[in-house]
Amino acid sequence: MEYLYAPWRSGYFKESQEECIFCQISNQNLDIPNRVFYRDDKIFCVMNKYPYVPGHFLIIPHHHTDTPCDLKEDIWLHLQKFAQKGIGLLNEFGAKGINMGMNIKQVGGAGIPGHIHLHLIPRFFGDTNFFTTIGDCRAYGVDFEEIYWRIKELSLKYFVEN
C-alpha cells in the first residue's frame, strides 16, 4: 500500500477552534483579512487558507450544518449556482481543469466536519511535480495576495454582474 502525505497542511490540523471557524468568518465584518471575496445572505466565498494550488477557494453556506440534507433547498440551489459561476471564474483565471467537491462529515474526509463547504480547485499543467512528490513540500511561484485580489476582481464579473 502506498501513502500520500501532505505535510504542508500540518498547521491546519494543529489549529484548535472552540467556535466553528466558518461561523466566525460568516459573522465577522473582516472580509479582506479573512480572504472573503464574495458574500450574500445565503453563502460566502473564501480563499482556502491551505490551498492545494493557487486560486483554490471554498463556497460556504452561512447556515452551520454538517450535511447538505439540513440546508433549505433554496440555499443548496444557490450554492450550486455559485459553484457553476465559480467554474467560469476559474476558467478565466487560467485554470486548465477544475476539481470540485465536498467532503461530508469527518469520516467523509472533511477537515472542518461541522460546517459543509464546497471546494473549487483550479488545475494547471505541471501543478504537481517531483518537488511535491519527493520533497515533502510545495513551491508556488505566485503571490497569494495578488491571487486573492484577482479572484475578488473576477467575482465582480461572475458573481455580482450575472
Residue 78 marked in a binding site = no
pLDDT tens-digit readout, 74-122: 999 999 999 999 999 999 999 999 999 999 999 999 989 999 999 999 9
Residue 119 marked in a binding site = yes
pLDDT reading at 56 higher than 50:
yes
Q: What is the pLDDT of residue 54?
A: 92
- Under the banding of pLDDT at 50, 70 and 90, the label for residue 10 is low
Superfamily of domain 7-160: HIT-like (3.30.428.10)
Contact 3, 133 (CB under 8 A): no
Q: Where do the domains of the chain lie?
A: 7-160
117 is annotated as an active-site residue: yes
Please tell me which residue in 56, 78, 115, 117 is annotated as part of the active site.
Answer: 117
Whole-number Å distance between alpha carbons of 139 and 130: 11
pLDDT tens-digit readout, 109-138: 998 999 999 999 999 887 765 555 555 666
